[in-house]
Amino acid sequence: MHSNIKTQARRVTDITALVITVAVLLQGMPSWAGFNPRGKRLRRPGNRQAAATRPICRTNDNPPGTTRAPEGPPLKALVPENEHHLSREFTTAAYPTFHWYMPNNNPHPAAQFVLYKVSNIEPVVEEIEVFSTRFQIRNEEGIASLKIPAGTMATALEVDTDYRWQVKLLCLDEDDEYVTNQYVEGWITRIKPSPELTKKIAKAKPIAQIDIFAEAGLWYDALTQLTTLHRSHPKKQRLEQEWQSLSNSEFVQLADIPLQLASPSQ
């Protein structure tokens, strides 16, 4: 009997030691929590994904009357989606960076980025254009980006104010004038970070900041930090895991977009 008691005690001790060991190992492992929406997810009108091409783009390698269809994902704004609607997402940056996916076999010669300040949503969206730029497309497939230029108050995002942004693909019409062919868009609101969040970010390693931003519901900050690190460390496997965590999140659903970066648009 004493032998059975000793055996059972030894098993309990072994199990306890195993549980403690696993707990310690888990604490030391990186945690990819995915994206945690901030507060109530407010629906916003708009298109995250571009529809099929309407007019035919005329370029040197794409004669009139022909077009080339993308083989992978279409043009898509890299923003979360809320029940097939756009949602308002957040940043702490006065001059944020915006991301979208540019497909392969893209026949468009140029694109335009536009940022609008929104003063009313319903019943009609009322907005004022605060920034716009046109740029040539390098025909690079992957995640493209554009950072709002700093230095002027006119382009700095105001705190607690809604903004809508668009990326428009442009074609040349019969008069050699640029016309909008496709477009995607997203919504962004700048917030003031809490002292606790500011301190937490300052103490964290750059790669750990991705999770902190994501858990705080700061989509634009998390994605910008991830792509910034990926440009300097393109072969770092941890960044691929971070992207998988973000893109596969329940409230994001961008799993079809690979972590492949195109050159910044500006």
pLDDT in tens, 13-63: 554 444 344 333 333 334 445 888 887 777 787 888 886 555 456 655 555
Which tokens hold the place of 64?
Answer: 């009139």
pLDDT at residue 16, as a whole number: 46
Structure tokens given for 70: 């993308």
Residue 17 resides in a domain: no
Q: Which pLDDT does position 169 carry in this prediction?
A: 87
Flag whether 128 is in a domain: yes
pLDDT at 261: 92
Q: In this predicted structure, which of 23-27, 88-92, 170-174 has the lowest mean pLDDT?
A: 23-27
Count of CA atoms in the C-beta half-sphere (13 A) of 21? 6
Residue 142 lies in a domain: yes
pLDDT of residue 154: 72
CB atoms within 10 A of CB 200: 16
- Copy the structure tokens of residue 55: 């007019």
**Per-residue pLDDT at 12:** 43
How confident is the model over 137-157, as a mean pLDDT?
Answer: 85
What's the domain count of the chain? Answer: 1
CATH number, position 118: 2.60.40
Tell me which residue of 115, 111, 193 sits closest to 154, measured CA to CA: 115
Structural domain including 53 reads 43-193
CA–CA gap between residue 122 and residue 167 (Å, rounded): 23
Please check whether residue 120 lies inside any domain of the structure: yes
Does some domain include residue 250? no
Contacts of 63 (CB under 8 A, 6+ apart): none
Q: Is residue 102 part of a domain?
A: yes
Q: Answer whether residue 244 is part of any domain.
A: no
Residue 238 within any structural domain of the chain: no
